[in-house]
Structure 1
């Protein structure tokens, strides 16, 4: 009896200790500074929604000022995080702070901060583009949806488990559906929103199926733990794991507008309000590419032989389809500027995929090339959409012919647009565009993907035609106004059938600021392209 009593007595402290450790592991210490940027944007979205209930109609412009203030505050909160690698929501309850390790759901490392800066900066410029257009839109709903989407987009690059990634992706996407269709009574806007929604839902369902396969194989959702367990997958589960990896990539490929998941892009961009098209082309792509980088480089390195060749083929297919379609659009009778920018964004997505595919064949250092290219693309593409918004104030159809003679009426806007187009083409004086394309090309060559480098070179030459033709249009003499609007021109007029009179030659100050900021950023980056590469250099391990 005595030994039994002694044994029980000796075991009691161990039981107490185990219970205490179990309780400790359930306690989460939240690093509020690390999660501050997306939280501030989400909080401001709620403030805007509540404030809208009490503001009279004539005071609605204050909502835009609140939204811009929230985005600026979120950007400012990235500054104190720039030197740290802070993790929180860790499964072992480890203390948070710089250098913390373990399986965590949120990590504010350099990669996350760079993408958050891109996302929040893109949302801020979208807000500036939108200030003059929300008079015809429900202002409260517009600003709430924009901030909600931006909060999800800011959360995603810091997510380090598949559950958080999926939630962040949907938080970024669901408000975007409503923003695309927010032009009430506009048939084209409603059609674009429906097409965007249905195709996105299918892609998300396929991605969730892939996530479930990955979870069934590994028993975890944390990216680092998935990588460790996929290194030693039993033979009978190997096929399931490969299927999970492939299907998980589908959702992110849809967000990046990679072929064959690109079909929603042209109609969605044309039907959406112009600032929202700009937002989708930059922030939507940043969300897709950051998610794609996280799942491939961190979670699935063991299956690089699966996703590497797949992404290389997608890159070649995407850039070719995008450029050929843009070439046809430029040669067509309608020649919609927004539709051409949409196809151009598809082609640019192909270039952005090249370094990610290259990471499967060499090291993850090429990921920095994707981030650098994304930063360049964000600046110049938002600038191009800003000039398009300026032209749309006098020419609602926004055809490429409407840009003819722009230099005679708005010389600074024409020069800015020419600079943005040359950056996208990769020609001087758009040095930053040339520099970004060279880094992407080098990534393909270093990885041994010579065939992909050749495909990219051919596509760059194809793109020169429509970029240079549009640039030349800016400096040609204006055409004489015809007495009758051709059918091709009517194709891109408002879908509700209304013929809107030009809104005048004056431009809102916010639109002028957006053009000036993007042009200045492009010039500075062209003068110091190495700065972009140093800023975008990331190490995910």
Structure 2
């Protein structure tokens, strides 16, 4: 077995970050600056190392580790793996910046929080280079396991504990399904390396149905990570119960990890049963975008709307890959177009979704996402945050000025038409129109008038401990209301929004990326070419 230590360098740096965070918390307990500074430095170093390894590959184009044969390696360092590692490190760094308001309040233990985030990053870095089923599933679970604790880490938050349990139970079931699928694939092909599975010569015809069932189960289990139907019910409760920065990281990193895993399994390992894999992904895509959009129409809470929107977005991500594989990937051009559309849409979604959550964090601080009605009149209180939310939401809807989302929708439809999947392109177009309804409703509320004082008075009166319902008091009467009740109803309030500079920087960078990436779509397509086998 050969091991190239350079190929493992980004993983070493990510793991070392987690260890250094523990040491920093031990040496300076409760010192927010020391722990957060160590975490941020480690994540920057991880991104830089991943990029450096990717750029330093030279003519060979890749480095390998844990190899038992020429193309039987468990871990590969290539430009695609470097891009994935750097993307996850940047996402984790953004999550740290968004977390500062909630960390300052003391609701979340800073040492444990940063350590779990670094552990999740370690799994994500390994995922990009995984080339066998065991490494892939272990890396994906290492990415996900710390998130169970991060969702429920806030002290005294029963909603967070409930959300963490929901997330854990559904995840365990999905992982069991994926492991069963992997076991059946190994039984049918005799190999766990993706290259071995792709070129498996099934001399025994009776093994082909076993391989098909295994591939369906494996893809269905991995679909949990992208919150695709039927493994989607965890997303709304989990996003809404988690601290907002955790929800921002979970909704983007988990989705990106799931897309990477599905690409590796569906494209690199799906050779013998491409049509079965494609049909599975196409069905998941149709169900996800339809269910997600229809349920999102009825949402009143901001984070739950973003969660159901992410279910629908999972359908758009899976559609090109499903259409390609269902037709057997007949040409190299078709493969390149479908993979490029999938990667491009995933990248645009991550940028736009993180922008939306970053703006929500800047508005709400350490509170939850609140009701959509709480954002009424935000355009007058904070025009720049309103601009970020508008860019993010219209981009997710596929409208300007969110050019990234507009290009992503066009790329998906074009790939479907090029892959002779016109019926799926029509489904995507219909669901995109349905999605406009709730995105535009939220954008319109940002520019509408604030809530009436009477509504605030009624709500605050209802929150007083054990107070029976009473008619409104005359204008001359003074009513005593507790400060927490006022904060609960008035948040984000009529006062101008004031976000700390790390949050403001994260919001600004995400918004700029959402616009600039949409202006340079060709670069995204070239990046996607790294994922083409």
- On the 8 A contact 2:394/2:401 being kept in 1, the answer is yes
**Deviations 1:211-236 (CA, angstroms, capped at 9, x unpaired):** 1111122222111011111x434112
Is 1:485–2:459 an aligned residue pair?
yes
TM-score (norm 1): 0.87
CA distance in 1, matches of 2:33, 2:366: 22
Deviation at 1:396, TM superposition (A): 4.5
- Ranges of 4+ aligned residues in structure 1 off by more than 6 Å: 486-490
The 5 A counterparts of 1:84-163 are: 84=57, 85-92=61-68, 101-134=70-103, 135-163=106-134
- Shift in CA distance, 268/214, structure 1 to aligned 2, threshold 3 Å: same
SS in structure 1 of the partner of residue 206 of structure 2: helix
Q: Equivalent residue for 1:415?
A: 387
**Preserved CA contact (<8 Å) 1:132 1:510:** no
The 1-side partners of 2:460 and 2:419 are apart by: 50
Offset of residue 499 of structure 1: 5.3
Per-residue deviation at 1:488?
12
Q: Structure 1: where are the runs of 5+ without partners?
A: 1-25, 94-100, 330-334, 491-497
Distance of 2:277 and 2:527 partners within structure 1: 27
Residue 483 and residue 499 in structure 1: after superposition, are their counterparts in 2 closer, same or farther (change >3 A)?
Answer: closer
| Offset at residue 486 of structure 1 (A) | 8.5
The answer to whether the 8 Å contact 1:420/1:430 transfers is yes
Kept after mapping to 2: 8 A contact 1:399/1:489: no
Secondary structure, in 3 states, of the residue corresponding to 2:76? strand
1:268 partnered with 2:238: yes
User: 1, 4, 12: which is aligned to 1:39?
Assistant: 12
Counterparts of 1:514-525 in structure 2 under 5 Å?
A: 514-525=506-517
Counterpart of 2:215 (choices 234, 242, 245) is 245
Contact 1:105 1:164 survives alignment (8 Å): yes
User: Any idea what SS the aligned residue of 1:434 has?
Assistant: helix
Give the Cα separation in 2 of the matches to 1:223 and 1:75. 26
Match of 1:68 among 15, 40, 50: 40
Checking the alignment, whether the CA contact within 8 Å between 1:397 and 1:489 is kept in structure 2 is no
Q: Secondary structure at the match of 2:191?
A: coil
Partner of 2:468: none
Q: How does 1:456-475 map to 2 (within 5 A)?
A: 456-475=428-447
1:22 alignment partner in structure 2: none
- Cα distance in structure 2, aligned partners of 1:465 and 1:450: 24
Partner residue, 1:449: 421
Alignment of 1:497-516 (within 5 A): 501=487, 505-516=497-508
Distance 1:172 1:487, change over 3 A: farther
Counterpart residue number, 2:477: none
Contact 2:101/2:366, CA 8 A, preserved across alignment: no
> 3-state SS of the aligned residue for 1:467?
helix
Q: Do structure 1's residue 51 and structure 2's residue 20 form an aligned pair? A: no
Match of 1:192 in 2: 163
- Tell me the CA shift for residue 321 of structure 1: 0.6
* Distance in 2, Cα, partners of 1:50 & 1:487: 48
Deviation, 1:269, is: 0.3
Residue 167 of structure 1, CA deviation:
0.9
Relative to 1, partners in 2 of residues 1:162 and 1:487: Cα closer, same or farther, differing over 3 Å? farther
Distance 2:212 2:461 in 1: 50
Provide the rounded CA distance (Å) in 2 between the counterparts of 1:532 and 1:489: 50
Q: Which residue of 1 aligns with 2:281?
A: 311
Q: How far off is 1:397 after superposition?
A: 5.5
How high is the TM-score relative to the length of structure 2?
0.88
Change over 3 Å in CA distance of 1:44–1:316 after alignment to 2: same
Summarize the Cα distance change of 1:245–1:409 in structure 2 as closer, same or farther, 3 Å threshold.
same
**Within the alignment, does 1:346 sit opposite 2:311 as a pair?**
yes
Q: Deviations over 1:56-98 (max 9, x none)?
A: 32x23321111111111111113323343323224337xxxxx
Aligned equivalent of 2:182: 211
CA distance in 2, matches of 1:507, 1:218: 55
1:358 to 308, 320, 323: 323
Q: Cα distance, 1:342 vs. partner? A: 0.4
Given the superposition, is the C-alpha separation of residues 171 and 394 from structure 1 closer, same or farther in structure 2, using an over 3 Å criterion? closer
Q: Closer, same or farther in 2 for the Cα pair 1:382/1:29, shift >3 Å?
A: same
Superposed CA deviations along residues 345-404 of structure 1, whole A, max 9, x for unmatched, are 111110000121123123421111111111111111111001111221397462111111
Contact 1:367 1:538 in 2 (8 A): no
